[in-house]
């Protein structure tokens, strides 16, 4: 026997009560895990963004086009190491409800620039560059529809149409790519800009946005200023910002997700703090006589205090771990059904670490009052005088 056994036996002496407390803690941590995973998924773009990457968009709004001529002009700006561009395609597969991220890109420069987060083999790069109607597909998207290399599929646009009136483009899948960063989302398709631009019925020679790499993050401000200055007072003024700031601003448009998560998680934790805290005060009060006996046996106040804190810590850890496990199962199930809408839904090591931190805090907070009561208990009072 050791102190841990004593703690465990104490905790489970009233099984129903212990289980009820564990359930309430489990619920709170499951809520925390799931919501934190959601919040992180929303901010995944901010997390994967690179410090030396800038995004150039139309100053009016990023949905407004830029002339393709900007590609070469930006490439010539001092401090720009690499540059590429993309055009939003507004894609869907078969039914407008099957919204799909499709971007028309300049193959060579685009693949080179985003190769930090996505894993392209030399073969698929070459195939994509060479094949005008070729498409590269992320592995999650390919898995969703069961696409394989060599499949010829029609991909529709909710925005553009071809000169012949059709709203669907036929593309051949020439490669299925994975990712280099765990948070990167692979539910997307890349098609050739040249193919898209020649066949579309309007908007020719315009692009959606430019992405560039600076020679060093220290040059970011200077490069952004010179690009925006270069196009000032033209019909297409630009706004250049870091990829991180751009992604952050985009997520902020959905609403204050962080605040919602904090409020709900806060409410859940206040609930268990009150329930578990009060129950533990009561449980320790019921055990007053036993604590007095332990003290007469020679257990010091500090040791008794540690026994009580150990009990609330154990309680928080059991409930919290079970809750995290449930959150893990739930996010896994949800990432399958919501993967298209919210990619990258998962419990990260950071969330787990934060949860463990909260478990320890919860254990200490709920144990504090009863532990101090036990610590201060005078034996003669505790024994109720025989």
Partner 1 sequence: MLRQVLAVTRINLASIPQRFWLSLSTVVAVGLVVMVLLSFLSMAAGFRRTLASSGADDVAIALRAGARAEVNSVIGRDQVRLLEDAPGLVRDAQGKPVSSAELYLVVDGIKRSSQTKANLPLRGIGEQGAAVRQGIRITGGRMFAPGSNEVVVGKSLLREFEGFELGRTVRLASGNWTVVGIFEADGSVFESEIWADLPVVQSLFNRNNVFQTMRMRLTGPDALTQLVAYNDGDPRLKLEVKSEKDYFADQSSETSDLIQKLGWPLAIAMALGALAGALNTMYSSVASRSVEIATLRAIGFGGFPAFVGTLVESLLLAAIGGVLGALFAWLIFDGFSASTLGASFTQVVFSFRLTPGLIGQGIALALVVGLIGGLLPAIRAARMPIVQGLQG
Partner 2 sequence: MSDLPLVRLAGVSKGFVKGKDAITIFDKLDLAIPAGDFVAVMGPSGSGKSTLLNLLGGIDRPDTGEVQVAGSRIDALSEGELSAWRAAHIGFVFQFYNLMPMLTAAQNVELPLLLTRLGKADRRRHVETALTIVNLADRAKHYPREMSGGQQQRVAIARAIVSDPELLLCDEPTGDLDRTSADEILGMLKALNRDLGKTIVMVTHDPAAARYARRTLHLDKGHFEEKELAA
CA-nearest of 199, 205, 179 to 133 is 199
The two most distant CA atoms of the chain are separated, in Å, by 100
Q: Is 217 in the site for partner 2 (CB under 8 A)?
A: no
Tell me if 59 contacts partner 1 by CB under 8 A: yes
CB of 41 to partner 2, least distance (A): 44
Q: How far apart are CA 157 and CA 165, in angstroms?
A: 12
DSSP designation for 217: G
Question: Is 13 one of the binding residues for partner 2 (CB under 8 A)?
Answer: yes
> Phi and psi of 152, rounded to 5°?
-110, 120
- 154 counts as binding partner 1 under rule CB under 8 A: no
Within residues 252-281, the interface with partner 1 by CB under 8 A covers 252-256, 263-264, 267-268, 270-272, 274-275, 277-279, 281
Residue selected from 162, 167, 172, 199 as contacting partner 1 according to rule CB under 8 A: 167
CA-based nearest residue to 214, from 180, 253, 243, 248? 243
Query: Quick one: which segment of 57-65, 136-144, 223-231, 373-381 binds partner 1 (CB under 8 A)?
Result: 57-65
379 within 8 A of 296, measured Cβ to Cβ:
yes
- Radius of gyration over every alpha carbon of the chain, rounded to an integer in angstroms: 29
* Per CB under 8 A, 10 contacts partner 2: yes
Do 348 and 57 contact (CB within 8 A), yes or no? no
Residue 268's binding partner, choosing from partner 2, partner 1, none, with beta-carbon cut-off 5 to 8 A by kind? partner 1
Total Cβ atoms within 10 A of residue 233: 6
Question: Is residue 202 at the binding interface for partner 1, with CB under 8 A as the rule?
Answer: yes
Could you say which DSSP state residue 81 is in? E
Q: For residue 192, what is the enclosing H or E element?
A: strand 188-192
* Residues of the shown chain interacting with partner 2 in the complex, contacts defined by CB under 8 A: 1-3, 5-6, 9-10, 12-13, 289-290, 293-303, 379-380, 383, 385-386
* Residues of the shown chain interacting with partner 1 in the complex, contacts defined by CB under 8 A: 16-17, 20-21, 23-25, 27-28, 30-31, 59-61, 63-64, 90, 92, 96, 156-159, 161, 167, 202, 233-235, 237, 239, 248-249, 252-256, 263-264, 267-268, 270-272, 274-275, 277-279, 281-282
């Amino acid at each position: 026997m050791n102190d841990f056994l004593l703690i465990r036996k104490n905790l489970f002496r009233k099984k129903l009560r212990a289980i009820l407390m564990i359930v309430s803690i489990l619920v709170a941590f499951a809520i925390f895990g799931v919501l934190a995973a959601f919040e992180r998924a929303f901010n995944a773009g901010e997390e994967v963004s690179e410090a030396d990457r800038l995004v150039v968009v139309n100053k009016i709004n990023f949905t407004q086009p830029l002339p393709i001529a900007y590609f070469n002009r930006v490439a010539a700006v001092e401090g720009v190491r690499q540059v590429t561009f993309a055009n939003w395609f507004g894609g869907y597969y078969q039914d407008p409800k099957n919204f799909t991220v499709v971007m028309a890109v300049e193959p060579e420069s685009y693949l080179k620039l985003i190769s930090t987060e996505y894993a392209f083999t030399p073969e698929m790069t070459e195939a994509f560059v060479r094949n005008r109607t070729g498409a590269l597909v992320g592995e999650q998207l390919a898995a969703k529809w069961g696409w394989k290399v060599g499949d010829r599929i029609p991909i529709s646009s909710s925005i553009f149409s071809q000169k012949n009136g059709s709203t669907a483009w036929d593309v051949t899948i020439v490669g299925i790519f994975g990712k280099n960063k765990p948070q990167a989302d692979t539910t997307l398709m890349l098609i050739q800009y040249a193919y898209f631009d020649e066949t579309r019925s309007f908007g020719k020679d315009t692009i959606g946005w430019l992405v560039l790499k600076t020679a060093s993050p220290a040059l970011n401000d200077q490069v952004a200023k010179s690009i925006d200055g270069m196009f000032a007072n033209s019909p297409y003024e630009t706004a250049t910002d870091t990829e991180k700031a751009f992604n952050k601003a985009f997520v902020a448009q959905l609403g204050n997700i962080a605040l919602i998560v904090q409020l709900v998680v806060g409410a859940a934790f206040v609930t268990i703090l009150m329930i578990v805290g009060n129950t533990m005060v009561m449980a320790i009060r019921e055990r007053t006589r036993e604590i007095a006996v332990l003290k007469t046996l020679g257990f010091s106040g500090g040791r008794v205090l540690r026994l009580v804190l150990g009990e609330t810590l154990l309680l928080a850890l059991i409930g919290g771990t079970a809750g995290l496990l449930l959150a893990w199962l739930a996010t896994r199930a949800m990432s399958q059904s919501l993967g298209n809408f919210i990619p990258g839904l998962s419990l990260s090591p950071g969330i787990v670490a934060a949860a463990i931190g909260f478990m320890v805090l919860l254990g200490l907070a709920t144990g504090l009052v009863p532990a101090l009561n036990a610590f201060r208990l005078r034996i003669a009072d505790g024994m109720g005088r025989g």
